[in-house]
């Protein structure tokens, strides 16, 4: 029932297999699919335990909360991993090496954060922030599937350390699982949302480049230092060059000192007029 409800909610409200294309889809999936559908198994499970005499009724709320947060965190970690790695990925040597470096860094940092590698008494969840650089590295430099894989590795080490009794928390020992599950869920939502928005921006930029590359008009974009960030083919051919020979160079080096001064004066005049408006 939970799986069916989660699948229906994802298809109906979160975009189905495209749920992780934007941050809004990540949030909807987390709230409706992961957060909503998991209440089914948690409620049925707690009711069954109480009816069978395996748990006292006065512990129902605590058991329900632990069960629900655990299932929700699991959905937020595993569903993206399964869905995103179904997509076709173009790998090359440098990307594979960077992915290996990210995973190695995540493994080392999570071992320092969650195990007794540096302290004999076991670390607290307060050290979990040490894993953030590796997670942000995956989100900004690689992509959604790689971010999901890095999250899975960090979470696996954290759970393994807790099972070995190494991890402590700010709350009493019985509540450490809740702290751990909350950390897993919140971290996964934030990192997946960041990676989704980054990939969306990259897709938009690529689409814009495809549309403007062969446009019959001269198009160019420069930064504050008048260094070319983008030129289309028509603009580059005006100077007998290819686009890749122009991008990264200063405008004065391409158009010449006289034309550059004219462009600069016109740009200042337009900027002043825009500021006056």
Indicate the SS3 state at residue 221.
strand
Classify residue 59 by its DSSP letter.
G
Our CA angle for 172, 128, 200, nearest 5°, is 130
Determine what percent of the chain is predicted with pLDDT higher than 90. Answer: 22
**Mean pLDDT for all residues in the chain:** 83
How many C-beta atoms surround the C-beta of residue 256 within 10 A? 12
C-alpha 173, offset from chain centre: 31
First to last CA, the chain: 60
Say what the pLDDT of residue 89 is.
67
The structure tokens 């934030």 sit at 190
DSSP lists the bridge partners of residue 124 as 168
Q: What pLDDT digit, counting tens, does each position of 49-95 carry? A: 999 989 898 888 888 888 888 888 888 888 888 888 877 667 788 88
Q: Would you state the structure tokens that stand for residue 214, as one six-digit string?
A: 């062969």
Indicate the SS3 state at residue 256.
coil
CA distance 219 to 227: 14
pLDDT at 207 over 60: yes
Q: Find the mean pLDDT for residues 218-237.
A: 84
Indicate the SS3 state at residue 211.
helix
How many C-beta atoms surround the C-beta of residue 68 within 10 A? 20
Q: Greater confidence, 74 or 100?
A: 100
Question: Cβ distance 132 to 113 under 8 Å?
Answer: no
C-alpha 274, offset from chain centre: 37
Confidence of residue 121 (pLDDT cuts 50, 70, 90): low
φ, ψ (nearest 5 deg) of residue 221: -135, 130
CA distance 106 to 254: 44
């Amino acid at each position: 029932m939970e799986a069916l409800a989660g699948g229906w909610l994802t298809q109906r409200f979160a975009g189905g297999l495209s749920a992780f294309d934007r941050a809004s889809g990540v949030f909807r999936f987390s709230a409706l699919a992961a957060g909503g559908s998991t209440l089914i198994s948690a409620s049925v499970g707690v009711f069954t335990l109480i009816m069978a005499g395996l748990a006292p009724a006065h512990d129902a709320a605590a058991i329900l909360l632990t069960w629900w947060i655990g299932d929700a965190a699991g959905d937020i970690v595993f569903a993206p991993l399964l869905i995103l790695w179904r997509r076709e990925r173009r790998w090359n040597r440098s990307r594979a090496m960077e992915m290996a470096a990210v995973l190695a860094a995540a493994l080392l940092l999570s071992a320092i954060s969650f195990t007794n590698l540096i302290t004999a008494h076991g670390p607290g969840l307060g050290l979990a922030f040490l894993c953030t650089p590796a997670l942000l590295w995956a989100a900004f430099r690689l992509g959604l599937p790689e971010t999901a894989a890095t999250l899975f590795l960090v979470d696996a080490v954290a759970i393994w350390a807790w099972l070995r009794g190494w991890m402590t928390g700010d709350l009493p020992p019985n509540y450490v699982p809740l702290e751990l599950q909350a950390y897993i869920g919140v971290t996964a939502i934030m990192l997946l949302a960041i990676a989704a928005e980054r990939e969306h921006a990259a897709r938009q930029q690529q689409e814009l480049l495809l549309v403007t590359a062969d446009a019959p008009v001269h198009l160019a974009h420069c930064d504050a230092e008048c260094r070319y960030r983008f030129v289309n083919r028509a603009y580059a051919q005006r100077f007998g060059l290819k686009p890749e020979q122009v991008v990264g160079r200063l405008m004065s080096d391409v158009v010449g000192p006289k034309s550059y001064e004219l462009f600069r004066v016109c740009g200042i005049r337009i900027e002043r007029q825009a500021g006056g408006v």
